[in-house]
Amino acid sequence: MAALPSARRVLIVDDERDIRTTLHAVFGSAGYECRTAPNGREAARLFETERSPLTITDLKMPVMDGLQLLQHLKARDADAAVIMLTGAADLTTAVESLKQGASDFILKPVNLDQVLLAAERALERRQLILERREHQALLETRVAEATRDLAAALGQLRETYQATLEALGSALATREVGTELHSRRVHAYSIALARAHGLADEAIDALGRGVLLHDIGKIGISDSILLKPGPLTPEEWATMRSHPEFGRQILERIPFLRDAIPVVYHHHERWDGTGYPLGLVGPAIPLGARIFALADAFDAMTFDRPYSKAIPMEAARERIREAAGTHFDPDVVATFLAMPLLVFQQARGRAEDRSPV
């Protein structure tokens, strides 16, 4: 940024000695520090070392004329104030000088009061430009600092959100053995599948929250039903099927987790409409819930459960292929089948190591 002058300085450029002398005397008596030059080339040399904030120059001069000098000064200091002195016959060139950045032009013979007034206006305008630029730079610095502070606050907020998710998940895990690891594996599978399916980052984040909390509604199911070793009665099964509704009610009270509700509430829906709680059909089921349903089934097939033995991943893929259009969204199945098994093996490993997905 150009430095503000410590005193008012003016560079007077004219090939006529009398004009230089007169202007020097007038500006000197007005409190200016003056330098003079007989032509544009000498003025350019002085400007390189002193960078006068104001230059008053004749338009027609030998060696380097006023318009060439203006271009030279502006190339080195875009904020330099330059006033052109010109005869009536040079008005067209004087107007051109304004287009190229001159602050003003004064017709010869020079009215000394007029040139002093023009100089004051030019320096005030220059000062305003410099102050505005300094203010803009200060504002940009403050905005950058505020942005960094906001980013740090958002990072802390995300950590708080994650801690809340883990606390809710742990609350469920204390009641149902294996739930936490199951949730982590299904989370890893769901995120990998969602990315492959082309979901936006925001939708993937919401899906991730929904997956980790998909069975949070089971907190509202009594242990006598939730942990019953044998088959459930029809009444008990009806109670168990109410856990998506319990989950929805819990999350509706937590604003930052409301975007997880579609997965929590609809993760037991089926593509053909035979699921619950609403019996939604096809695309009416939220996409996140459709992705979860496949990932959840894949994990259930490939890990031992009290009521079923694990099967290899390849066999599980074949069963999922067969259920496309009935249990699962055919498009999500197509994405799943196109993904290498290694992706799911690695996702499982990260989940079980408690590494970030």
Place of tokens 């997956």: 211
81 SS3 class: strand
Q: What is the β-pairing status of strands 104-107 and 81-86?
A: parallel
Give the CA radius of gyration of the chain: 39
Question: What is 202-268 written as a DSSP string?
Answer: HHHHHHHHHHHTTTGGGGGS-HHHHT-SSPPPHHHHHHHTTHHHHHHHHHHTSGGGGGGHHHHHHTT
Question: What is 86-133 written as a DSSP string?
Answer: E-GGGHHHHHHHHHTT-SEEEESSP-HHHHHHHHHHHHHHHHHHHHHH
**Rounded distance, CA 47 to CA 314, Å?**
80
CA distances from 42 to 13, 70, 105, 126 (A): 9, 13, 21, 24
CB 99 within 8 A of CB 106: no
Question: Please, which residues have CB within 8 angstroms of residue 186's CB and are 6 or more apart in sequence?
Answer: 211, 214, 292, 295, 296, 299
| Residues belonging to the active site | 218
